[in-house]
Amino acid sequence: MDEIGPRQIELKVHGLTEEDHGRVPARLFATKLTQLVAALEAADTIANGDAVHDYILAAMHMSEPTAILREVPRKIEAEGESAIPVFNDAIDGIKVNDGRTTTLAPVVKKISALTGGVESRFGFAEIKSDSKVVRVDDFLRKRATAARKSTRGVWYDGVSFGAFDGFLKFVDLRGSLPQFKLTLSGTVKELDCVCSKEDIDSIGDALDHRVRVFGRAIYSSISPLPLRVEVTSIEPIKRGGDLEKWRGAFRPFTADSWDGDA
């Protein structure tokens, strides 16, 4: 697969299921590509005061419907700032629902359109630039919808880094950001998690086993649990749990009399 160079951005669209992995209607792919360009042009306008770039096809691949765009100046003498960092900033603002959703509102609106049809007409999409990968899925769709509403719930809305203990129950290994479900220990509550493709071996070894995951947890004000955890590491928990080493340490004991200490 082609390397993503400076001022390049890649769109890859995945089918609804693993069986339909590479089956994406041409009309749908063309729509998603058009919507990505519209979001980049909105970001370009914010970055430069006007749209000063065109986005041209640099490469395409059919097995996994993919297009790579290259950002080029419309005028050689006016290259301007790249819109891609602004686009990525808007994506992160949507995920954590912070002030960037207001300052980058035109881009947020276009990204919201880009999430349309996810899990109904296609499984998910991935947008890659340099070393950054964004997953366009139902999570991003819901966050984009929430970002355009002013109402807030009673729970914490934001990001924190933490650890979560549970059983790894479901895996979708497609794409650069594999997705899995973590059923929290002692509950039936599930957390939606994504990790890097490099962690696939860890996921396979941990399937149906108890693990502790560490990463960036994204919270919404509608729930006390995070909507998603962007996992940075997975640690297996040995059978018996963390308290195994304390076995017998808390058995009843008799204290010696203190009568002679006075």
Give the span between the Cα atoms of 154 and 148, in whole angstroms.
18
pLDDT at 2 exceeding the cut of 80: no
Give the span between the Cα atoms of 4 and 56, in whole angstroms.
14
Q: Provide φ and ψ at 160, rounded to 5°.
A: -150, 160
Mean pLDDT rounded to a whole number for the chain: 88
Question: pLDDT at position 172, please?
Answer: 85
Span 119-139, pLDDT tens digits: 999 999 999 998 789 999 999
pTM of the model: 0.85
Average pLDDT over residues 188-198: 91
Average pLDDT over residues 100-126: 96
Residues forming beta bridges with residue 129, ordered by sequence position? 132
pLDDT at 246 exceeding the cut of 50: no
* Residues sharing a CB contact under 8 Å with residue 19, sequence separation 6 or more, in sequence order: none
Structure confidence at residue 258 as a pLDDT band (50, 70, 90): low
pLDDT at 201 exceeding the cut of 70: yes
